Structure 1
Amino acid sequence: MSNSLSGKSIAFLATDGVEQIELTRPWQDLKGAGATVHLVSLESGEVKGYNHLSEADSFTVDKSVKAVSASDYDGLVLPGGVANPDALRMDADAVAFIKSFFTAGKPVVAICHAPWTLIEAGVVEGRTLTSWPSLKTDIANAGGNWVDQSVCEDSGLVTSRKPDDLDDFCSKMLEVFAA
């Protein structure tokens, strides 16, 4: 694989209930492109992945969200699931961490239900994005423009709808993080 992301450091923000494939596939693609990746979560220890509603593997947390800042990273990945972004959007440190990437003008990628965290961070207004279809009204109510397509990019924000979109999502993610 290409080392187009050699020297880049990418944070993955996730907690229990993360959709496993939305964590592992982008992780593998970024590592394959030479990036350094860290799993950032609400607390140290492990996070529990899920395959839809079925419990799956555990993943070791590299850093607590309280111990990092956007200045430590070149980009941010927000995997989905339902429980994961719902818990993250209730944590002030996680929301501030997400918002700080937008303030710094750094790329952020989010899939499935992860745009809930973007709404909570107040960064959706005026942007075009996609997500799991049930977030359409939430995005519109936050001032965003929801589109039904496999991947959407708007000024460094890359979004996708679901695991079936991972090929398009990861391709666009690698492109945006390499820019």
Structure 2
Amino acid sequence: MSLSGKKIAFLVADEGVEQIELTDPWQAVQKEGGRPVLVVGSDSPTVQGFNHLDKADTFDADLSVDRAGVEDYDGLVLPGGVANPDALRTNPQAVTFVKAFLDAGKPVAAICHAPWTLIEADAVRGRTLTSWPSLRTDLGNAGAQWVDQEVVVDTKGPGPLITSRRPDDLPAFSKALAEAF
């Protein structure tokens, strides 16, 4: 598989992102020859990484979501942690950005708590997903079927939806998103 020539957006909130859920998929995209682009939900020039609740590295944002066009990307990755998707789901521009990827039939990959943003984008109804276990009820209430699997690739919608539960699942998640992209 090769992602040569493909641009993949990574949408994060400047409030913080689970670092490993950003860096592992990022490195997988780079390893396959793709170009990851860090899109932030605000005008902040940097994003704070976290190792659970502890501050980790900061990352330079490439552009804000209000300047990003879905047509410029081949896929979207939504890293998790609690703060990142919680902030993104309350950001109308971020929610519109996510929904536009799915409406365009482009693949979207979400790990851990990131399906919260998919719920807000009304993108889970009738689809099978996995997530951090505490989102099971939220996903069910939004019309999704939740399963406890390391990675799920749902192709029932206009574009593939790749979901995963937690950092331990990152090897399978990164492989599945690279294949889908």
Q: TM over 0.5: same fold?
A: yes
Could you list the structure 1 runs, at least 4 aligned residues long, displaced by more than 4 angstroms after superposition.
Answer: none
Q: How many residues align?
A: 175
Are 1:23 and 2:26 matched, yes or no? no
CA contact (8 A) 1:19 1:81 kept: yes
- Is the counterpart of residue 164 in structure 1 residue 163 in structure 2? no
> TM-score, structure 1 length as denominator?
0.96
SS at match of 1:105: coil
**Other-structure match for 1:174:** 178
Equivalence for 1:133: 133
Shift of 1:151: 0.2
- 1:81-139 alpha-carbon deviations (Å, 9 max, x no partner): 00010000000000000000011000000000000000000000000000000000000
1:148 aligns to what SS in structure 2? coil
Q: CA deviation at 1:70?
A: 1.1
Give the AA of the match of 2:101.
F
Deviation at 1:171, TM superposition (A): 0.8
Q: Which amino acid in 2 is paired with 1:153?
A: V
Gaps of at least 5 residues in structure 2 are none
Is 1:44–1:62's contact at 8 Å kept on the other side of the alignment?
no
Write the mapping of 1:1-179 to structure 2, written as runs, cut at 5 A.
4-15=2-13, 16-42=15-41, 43-155=43-155, 156-177=160-181
* Cα shift at 1:69: 1.7
Q: Give the root-mean-square deviation of aligned CA atoms.
A: 0.8
Q: Distance in 1 between matches of 2:167 and 2:23?
A: 11
1:113 partner SS: coil
Measure the CA separation in 2 of the matches of 1:48 and 1:100: 26
Counterpart-to-counterpart distance in 2, 1:173 and 1:123 = 18
Runs of 5+ consecutive residues of structure 1 not aligned to the other structure: none
The 2-side partners of 1:145 and 1:96 are apart by 23
Contact in 2 for aligned 1:127/1:145 (Cα 8 Å): yes
C-alpha distance in structure 2 between counterparts of 1:34 and 1:91, whole Å: 31
